[in-house]
Structure 1
Amino acid sequence: MVPDALIPWLRDSDPALRWQVERDLLHEPPQVWEATRARVATEGFGARLLALQDPDGQWAGGAFFPAGFDFADPAVTQDNAQPWTATTWTLNTLREWGLDASALRGTADLLAKNSRWEYDDLPYWGGEVDCCINAWTLENGLWLGADVSRLPGWFVEHQLPDGGWNCEWVEGATRSSFHSTLNSLKGLLAYDSATGGGEEAVRAARRSGEEYLLRRGLFRRLSTGEPVAPWVDRFAYPFRWFYSVLNAADYFRRASLLDGTPPDPRMAEAIGLVRAARRPDGTWTQAGRLPGTVWFEVDVPAGEPSKWLTLYGTRVLDWWDTHARQAP
């Protein structure tokens, strides 16, 4: 549970964060958090992003990268400084903040007409070859009411033999990536949520992808048992495309709530990493945001206590500990 001393600090937040605190940590009645959620479209972060939308429905003039982006710029390629201002990243953010789709009425049609992927000039709602991009397109399309009907089957067709996905499959990768697998799973979970279970093959693909991560305890190599990388317990908000055990654990929390299933005990060690990162005052510290151009900052600098990470960390532990207390 969130310590009493943190409640005023968490409440003093942008509506995009506050409504989730009210619903998930404070368990306020729906009329309270729904009223706060409705303010995302008219106040603070959400309203600022909405005001930056181009007349053609895009943001920054591009699908995944801003218009005119220089892919050969060494300042970008050397530092992996992906810009976060283009259409897909902005839609991801607004969706994750709980913006009601009605605030973007007409956007799905505008993007179908005006937006093309930088890869092969493909139409926006058809997706492209990248697993993560297709997952976000699926989620955003379901949210906005676009036709993304081909994408669930795409994940079935492109699942790797080990059960996960890798965005580098087009370059010949045959082993799954933690990052790609988690992002793909989020898209498939959104599909199952929107369709009440979806198709059996799609549901089986999601189960197989979850098993890929669970067999590895969410952070270990299957071959050696060693942590897959030092970034597994590096917690930074916004998550973007980046994997961490906190990001993964929050996915499994949402999947558990949708499926009506308890937490998988194979997550225990990963949950321990989340718990170990909590400071004595009950907060989690920002590890440092991914580099790259943003419209504006939505969280604190590295080293400071993050309200966003405290929301994610607290609700993951609440979910886990509640089931642990109820277990026989």
Structure 2
Amino acid sequence: MTPRSRNGWQSEPKWRPKAGAQSSSPFRTTMDNGPAAPFYRPISILVSGASTASPGRPLLGASAHWEEGGQLYWEGEVEECINGRTVADRAYFGIDVSRIVERLTGERLDDGGWNCERVRGSLRSSFASTINVLEGLLEFERSTGGTPQSREACSTGEKFLLERNLFRRLGTGEPADERFLRFLHPNRWRYDILRALDYFRSSAMLTGADPDPRLGEAIGHLRSRRSNDGRWLLDWTLPGRVWFHVNEAQGQPSRWITLRAMRVLRWWDRQASIRH
């Protein structure tokens, strides 16, 4: 493991290898004024991985073994957004995710994306469910090379977002949710345009694809949110206790949002200069 993994943020959770999470979990037990699925608790695994841990590290992969009510976390759940996060975590740590990926590719809706409410009858994809699945499929492709089915699923999911300029309703052109235009970190299950832009940047770095012009409106909004000192603010945060804090105060400049915004813009501007 890296020194940061032993001594920094990642040293704070007292993992019990092959025995699950701490016996007294500080993770949120409610979500949106209702009970939260226990599978949201290990989302800090992703924060840990995205921060500093190297992919495929066996100790972190073993430490992330966790069970809830007899259900193995790594085996997935019924909701697409949770399974997308599971694929991202598991593929990052070098654990086989092919069964969950196969399931996800077969759960797309007719508009090309995903919705956790599908099992309750929803016929339209959601931005949040779709980005969670896309990030998982991208990590799967990065780790394994992907499959024809997973790459096709990525293509239709990306099309769902691009047709809506990352934040607009397809029918009316109105913003689907004003929070999509406000930035938070870590996103966990929440969607915003910076998260989507960073996904397309990361995907293009892997595949060599050019930036899609339909990202332009979201790029323009991202530029407009830059403060005079060159940084971006943390607009809002999700409630709930966490293992460790990675943010500045809400409404203050955020190092993480600034990092993500700058790498998106560097990628976009560099490709624009190459094309011209």
TM-score normalised to structure 2 length: 0.90
Q: Confirm or deny that 1:300 pairs with 2:254.
A: no
In 2, Cα distance between the equivalents of 1:236 and 1:69?
17
Q: Confirm or deny that 1:92 pairs with 2:54.
A: no
Matched pairs, number:
276
Report what 1:169 is aligned to.
Answer: 118
Report what 1:40 is aligned to.
Answer: 4
- Whether contact under 8 Å (1:286, 1:301) holds in the other structure is yes
**Deviation by residue 1:209-245 (Cα, 9 ceiling, x = unmatched):** 0000001000111001111111111101111111111
Compared with structure 1, are the counterparts of its residues 110 and 258 closer, same or farther at alpha carbon in structure 2 (3 Å cutoff)?
A: closer
In 2, Cα distance between the equivalents of 1:300 and 1:218?
26
In 2, Cα distance between the equivalents of 1:95 and 1:137?
13
Q: One-letter code of the match for 1:115?
A: E
In 2, Cα distance between the equivalents of 1:314 and 1:172?
39
**Deviation by residue 1:224-269 (Cα, 9 ceiling, x = unmatched):** 1111111111101111111111010000000111110110000100
Compared with structure 1, are the counterparts of its residues 77 and 247 closer, same or farther at alpha carbon in structure 2 (3 Å cutoff)?
A: closer
Report what 2:67 is aligned to.
Answer: 115
Structure 2 runs not aligned, ≥5 long: none
Q: One-letter code of the match for 1:179?
A: A
Q: One-letter code of the match for 1:314?
A: M
Compared with structure 1, are the counterparts of its residues 277 and 201 closer, same or farther at alpha carbon in structure 2 (3 Å cutoff)?
A: same
Q: One-letter code of the match for 2:154?
A: R
Report what 1:128 is aligned to.
Answer: 77
Report what 1:148 is aligned to.
Answer: 97
Q: Which has the larger radius of gyration?
A: 1
Report what 2:197 is aligned to.
Answer: 249
Compared with structure 1, are the counterparts of its residues 193 and 224 closer, same or farther at alpha carbon in structure 2 (3 Å cutoff)?
A: same
**Deviation by residue 1:126-182 (Cα, 9 ceiling, x = unmatched):** 211111211121122222232322011111110110000001111111110000000
- Whether contact under 8 Å (1:164, 1:208) holds in the other structure is yes
Compared with structure 1, are the counterparts of its residues 47 and 102 closer, same or farther at alpha carbon in structure 2 (3 Å cutoff)?
A: farther
Q: One-letter code of the match for 1:296?
A: F
Q: Confirm or deny that 1:59 pairs with 2:24.
A: no
**RMSD of aligned Cα (Å):** 2.7
In 2, Cα distance between the equivalents of 1:38 and 1:233?
35
Compared with structure 1, are the counterparts of its residues 325 and 55 closer, same or farther at alpha carbon in structure 2 (3 Å cutoff)?
A: closer
- Whether contact under 8 Å (2:5, 2:52) holds in the other structure is no
TM-score normalised to structure 1 length: 0.77
**Deviation by residue 1:259-311 (Cα, 9 ceiling, x = unmatched):** 10110000100111111111011100111210011123111111111101110
> Within 5 A, what are the aligned runs for 1:1-328?
38-49=2-13, 52-54=14-16, 56-61=18-23, 66=25, 76=30, 79=33, 88-101=42-55, 104-105=58-59, 107-108=61-62, 111=65, 115-116=67-68, 121-196=70-145, 198-328=146-276
Aligned to 2:237, the other structure's residue is in SS state coil
Which 4+ runs in 1 deviate beyond 3 A? 54-57, 66-70, 76-87, 101-104, 106-110
- Whether contact under 8 Å (1:236, 1:288) holds in the other structure is yes
Compared with structure 1, are the counterparts of its residues 313 and 202 closer, same or farther at alpha carbon in structure 2 (3 Å cutoff)?
A: same
- Whether contact under 8 Å (2:75, 2:100) holds in the other structure is yes
Structure 1 runs not aligned, ≥5 long: 1-36, 71-75
In 1, Cα distance between the equivalents of 2:34 and 2:230?
32
